[in-house]
Structure 1
Amino acid sequence: MNKLPRNPPATGKYSSLKVRLISTYQKSDHRQLQKLLSGLELGDPKPSQLLRKMRDLSGKLLSDEALKAMWLNQLPTQIHAVISVNTGSSLEMLAAMADKMMEHFEPTSISSVSTTTTACQESLQIAVLSKQLEKMSLEIAELRTNQQNAGN
Structure 2
Amino acid sequence: MVLGDQKPSQLLRRMRELAKEKIPDDTLKMLWQGHLPSSVRAVLAVTDSKNLDDLAVVADNVFETTRAAHVSEVSQQQPITSKETDLIMAEIAKLTLKVEQ
How high is the TM-score relative to the length of structure 2?
0.63
Confirm whether residue 57 of structure 1 aligns to residue 22 of structure 2: no
- Counterpart of 1:60, as a letter, is E
What is the rounded CA distance, in whole Å, between the counterparts of 1:94 and 1:88 in structure 2? 7
CA shift at 1:82, angstroms? Answer: 1.2
Q: Which has the larger radius of gyration?
A: 2
CA–CA distance in 1 between the matches of 2:4 and 2:51? 23
Contact 2:3 2:36 in 1 (8 A): yes
**Would the aligned equivalents of 1:72 and 1:84 in 2 still touch at CA under 8 Å?**
no
**How far, CA to CA, are the matches of 2:69 and 2:45 in structure 1?**
22
What residue in structure 2 maps to residue 128 of structure 1?
Answer: none
1:41 paired with 2:2, answer yes
- Unaligned 5+ segments in structure 2 are 71-101
Map Cα deviations across residues 92-133 of structure 1 (whole Å, 9 max, x no partner).
Answer: 110011111111114259xxxxxxxxxxxxxxxxxxxxxxxx
CA RMSD across the alignment = 1.6
Give the 3-state SS of the residue equivalent to 1:74 in structure 2: coil
The ranges of structure 1 where at least 4 consecutive aligned residues each deviate by more than 2 angstroms after the TM superposition are 84-89
Quote the sequence identity (%).
40
Q: How many residues align?
A: 70
Q: Deviations over 1:8-52 (max 9, x none)?
A: xxxxxxxxxxxxxxxxxxxxxxxxxxxxxxxx0100000000000
In the superposition, the TM-score normalised over structure 1's length comes to: 0.43
Q: Return the structure number with greater helix share.
A: 1
The CA distance in 2 between the partners of 1:85 and 1:62, in whole Å, is 24
Match of 2:43 in 1: 82
**Alignment partner, residue 27 of structure 2:** 66
Query: Could you tell me how far apart the structure 1 residues matched to 2:34 and 2:55 are?
Result: 14
Structure 1: unaligned runs, 5 residues or longer: 1-39, 110-152
